């Protein structure tokens, strides 16, 4: 995809709450690559829609949202203290807000809207043009970056994913139950794999990583080994 083979384009896809963002961030940090959190981009659009009354009782005013896409600017900036990328919506840091459960409950519906996907895919491809990029999401290796140098497809047992998500939200002070999170994961899996626009599926040339019984460091070492082989 890029002429400088030392600067790879890496696509990481997989199911929700598999730790895609965590491993992608760590990988980008180690490689000194740019990390692009596509899930955060969809969450930012969802937050914008919620704030502007376009989502009520789970129903989306699609026409209003589509007509508002040109008003939505999403950027990533590195936090100088944590050295982690954070998501900005129209200049506002929304990194914490977009991780809330109410956003999680609506993001898959927003992701099914064709015009939203087309708009964000265009932005994502522009970000990856120069290489040296790690991008994670649902359709990176199949739709956004089909010519990526390395494709990883992440999965884990549903109960493991629910437990990880539960601990993450509790650590942030959110009052949620494991049952609610499991329902959310199952519904997101259903919507992600059955939607008409760019459904979640494994690219033919992707390498599967089942991280159910792996630590974050073990996952990072596993992927770095693949990166070194590609280089």
The confidence score (pLDDT) of residue 209 equals 98
Place of tokens 């939607």: 195
The alpha carbon of residue 40 and the mean position of all alpha carbons in its chain are separated, in whole angstroms, by 6
Q: 227 is written with which tokens?
A: 């990166």
The confidence score (pLDDT) of residue 130 equals 86
Tell me the CATH class for 9-220. alpha beta
HSE at residue 109, side-chain half, CA atoms within 13 A, is 20
The confidence score (pLDDT) of residue 162 equals 95
Cα separation of 65 and 119, whole Å?
12
What are the boundaries of each domain within the chain? 9-220
The confidence score (pLDDT) of residue 197 equals 79
Q: What is the mean pLDDT of each run of 10 residues along the chain (231 residues)?
A: 68 94 92 90 97 94 98 89 88 96 93 94 91 92 96 96 92 90 93 87 96 96 95 78
Beta carbons of 7 and 230 less than 8 angstroms apart? no
The confidence score (pLDDT) of residue 4 equals 44
The confidence score (pLDDT) of residue 3 equals 40
Beta carbons of 85 and 77 less than 8 angstroms apart? yes
Cα separation of 113 and 128, whole Å?
23
| pTM of the model as a whole | 0.78
CB atoms within 10 A of CB 123: 16
């Amino acid at each position: 995809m890029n002429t400088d083979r030392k600067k790879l384009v890496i696509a990481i896809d997989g199911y929700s709450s598999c730790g895609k963002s965590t491993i992608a961030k760590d990988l980008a940090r180690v490689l000194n690559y740019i990390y692009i959190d596509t899930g955060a981009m969809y969450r930012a659009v969802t937050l914008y829609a919620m704030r502007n009354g376009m989502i009520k009782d789970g129903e989306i005013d699609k026409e209003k949202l589509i007509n508002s896409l040109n008003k939505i600017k999403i950027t990533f900036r590195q936090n100088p203290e944590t050295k982690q990328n954070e998501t900005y919506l129209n200049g506002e840091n929304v990194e914490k807000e977009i991780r809330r459960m109410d956003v999680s409950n609506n993001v898959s519906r927003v992701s099914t809207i064709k015009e939203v996907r087309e708009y964000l895919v265009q932005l994502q491809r522009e970000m990856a043009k120069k290489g040296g990029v790690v991008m994670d999401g649902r359709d990176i290796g199949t739709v956004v970056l089909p010519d990526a140098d390395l494709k990883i497809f992440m999965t884990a047992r549903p109960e493991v994913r629910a437990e990880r998500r539960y601990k993450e939200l509790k650590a942030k002070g959110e009052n949620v139950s494991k049952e609610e999170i499991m329902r959310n994961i199952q519904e997101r899996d259903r919507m992600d794999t059955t939607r008409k626009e760019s459904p979640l599926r494994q690219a033919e040339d992707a390498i599967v990583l089942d991280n159910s019984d792996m630590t974050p460091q073990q996952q990072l070492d596993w992927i770095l080994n693949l990166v070194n082989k590609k280089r």
